[in-house]
Structures are given as structure tokens and as C-alpha cells.
Amino acid sequence: MSQENTAPTNGKANALADAAEVAACLRAHRQFVMCAHEKPDGDVLGSGYALGLALKSIGKSVTYFLDDEVPRNLRFMPEWQSTQRSFEGVADDAIFVFFDMSDQARAGKALQWVPRERIVNIDHHLGNKRFGRWNYVNEGEAATGSLVLGLVFSLGVKVTPDIATCLLGTLISDTGCFQYSNASPHTMRLGAALIEAGADKDLITEQLYYTRTFAGQKVLGRALENAQLTDDGICYSIVTQAMLEEYGATHEDLEDVVGALRVVDRCEVAALFKESADGAYRLSLRSRGRFNVMEMARALGGGGHFRAAGATVAGPRESAIERVLAAIRSTMDEKSRTH
């Protein structure tokens, strides 16, 4: 990969300036804590590991903090075993880098104490709250990892095969293996450059898309068996705690379920209700492209993207379903009236 001192921008005039400014901050400090959001995915962890590797290569001290286990399917990422659940060894002047979250609250309880003046915020979500002292945000990018690649360039660090694997993992994770509409020519070029730099594409796709637990596949079968399809194109299903217990599955095993509902030909909006131990439901919403599920999720106190969003809704089950279907229909009706 060429080492031009330019950040890969996506038509946003301020992205390059932001990258240079953040790179200056990274050069000026000596210790960094990489911070992930709750329910970590390939984008947030790959971004943290990639920037961590880049910073270590220029002599900086790096801690990867995660108030959770690293999900099994992300344990292919270089550096994952260095992830720690405490702030042990973190000095008072350390800088905290928050990845892939529009709001500090998404980082979970353990990171709410971190003051703005010590935060670098790197993100691609709509409506980012600019909660850091340094905010490197570009909503046009498919993944936060694209922005991290820009920083690696700005730092003048060589993109090693390990850094490339982490960053290709972010792109593959957030684009559904380059299938979603966010996989622009720009994103494909970044992916190609990362493969040229030595990223292990086959390892990433095998781990993210072709490795599932047997328990998870059994629950997927049950969720499809129980799925409902309404006349107005809402395909939904529920995974209860009892189902998870029956097969020994966890919420981590459920990531394919909502996608399997979304592919139904008469489906416009897919909704999966995942019962939590406390009786509330974690809701995942997916759109076939006509309706903005982020609006629906926001009406329920959640958020996300146009085609993929989520929220948490209180039980009991029947009233949760009723409220969610009402929120979905309200957005669908609104669009039908205005288009």
C-alpha cells in the first residue's frame, strides 16, 4: 500500500483536517486507552486494535479496554488477547479513544467518568454528539475503520498485515461482506488496498460469516418456525430466554436471525425480539430499503442506521409487540402519505 500522507476522504471537506488534527493529538500524547461500545462488533474492535498497533509502532503505550468478553467470532483479530477489563496501568494523563459510537453513553457504565478533554471520538454514525475534545466524524464512511486508516496514513505508519486484517475486518463487518448499500466504490478501493497490504480476507469471512455454533443454528430454526408475516410486510419473531436455555445458546448466537427474516420476499421491515434475563426485549430492526428503521428505533428510544437499527423495549411480550408494530407502522404510514 502506498504511504502517501493523505487520508482517504469521502468527499467531506473537513475529514482531512480532522485526521491531521487527531494525528497531531496522537503524536503529542504518550498513552492511549482504546474504548469500545457495548455489544462490541468487528468495526469497533478492529478500529481499536488497528490504531493501537499503529500507535505502538511509534512507541506509544496502548491499553484495549472492554467491559465485556471479546465475542468468539472476533477472536481472530490480532491483539484481541491484550484486551483488558480494568484500567490497570492507565496513567492520569492517558487519552481515551472512543470508536464507532455517536454518544458516550453507548460505551456503557464503565466509561462514563472519562471527561471530554481526554476523549478522541472517531465515528461514522448519523447524529454523532461530538462528545470528545477531538471529533473525527464522517457519516459518509461505511465503517469507523475507514477513518482509522486515514489516521494511520496521517501518522505515517506502515500498514502491516496485522493492521490490514483489523481494518478489513471493520469493513467486512459493517458492509455485510461488501453486500450492503454502504459498500461504495470508495469502500471497495479501501478493501482492495488492505488486501494488497496483506489482510487475511479468507480468515475474516470464514470467522464472521461461515462459523456458527450448533446451538445458535437450532435457535435460528426455531425463530424461523415461529416467525409471523403481516399483510403490510412486517416479518417478526421472538427468541425467548426459555429457547436460549433449551439449546444452551446466548444472544451472541442470534446475529443471523433478523437477517433471515429480512430476506422474506414480502417483507419490508424485519423485527426480532430477543428476551433478556430481566424480562425486557432487545429489538433488532432491518429494512429492505424502502423504510427508515432508524426512525422507528428512535421512536422506541433506540437508534442506528437507515437499514439497521435497534432499541430496548420493556415487557410483557404482548405489549412489547404491540408497541413495536405501532412504531413501525407509524413510520410506514408517514412515508406512504408523503411519497
How far is residue 122 CA from its own chain's centroid?
12
Question: Which region, judged by CB under 5 A, interacts with Mn ion, from 127-135, 143-151, 203-211, 304-312?
Answer: 143-151
CB of 130: closest distance to Mn ion in angstroms? 17
Between 100 and 253, whose beta carbon lies closer to Mn ion? 100
Phi, psi of 223 (to 5 degrees): -65, -40
Buried b (16+ CB within 10 A) or exposed e, 141-159: bbbbbbbbbbbbbbbebeb
Which residues, including other chains, have CB under 8 Å from residue 264's CB and lie 6 or more apart? 227, 229, 235, 270
Minimum separation from the CB atom of position 111 to Mn ion (A)? 17
Residue type, 211: T
Q: Give the interface segment with Mn ion, choosing from 113-121, 130-138, 144-152, 155-163 (CB under 5 A).
A: 144-152
Taking the complex as a whole, the smallest distance from the CB of residue 212 to Mn ion amounts, in Å, to 22
CA distance 227 to 237: 5
Going by their DSSP bridges, the two strands 83-84 and 95-99 should be labelled as: unpaired
Residue nearest to Mn ion (CB): 43
Q: Which is nearer to Mn ion, 107 or 239 (CB)?
A: 107
C-alpha cell at 338: 408523503
Cα gap 150→144, rounded to integer Å: 10
> Nearest distance from residue 163's CB to Mn ion, in Å?
18
Does the footprint of Mn ion cover residue 174 (CB under 5 A)?
Answer: yes
CB of 171 to Mn ion, least distance (A): 10
Residue 141 found at the interface with Mn ion (CB under 5 A): no
Nearer Cβ to Mn ion (107/219): 107
User: What binding mask, one character per residue, do residues 91-110 give for Mn ion by CB under 5 A, x or -?
Assistant: ---------x----------
Q: Is 123 in the site for Mn ion (CB under 5 A)?
A: no
Indicate whether 162 belongs to the interface with Mn ion (CB under 5 A): no
Q: If binding is defined by CB under 5 A, does position 43 make contact with Mn ion?
A: yes
Closest CA to 320 of 336, 294, 339, 301: 301
Residues contributing to the site for Mn ion (CB under 5 A): 43, 100, 144, 174
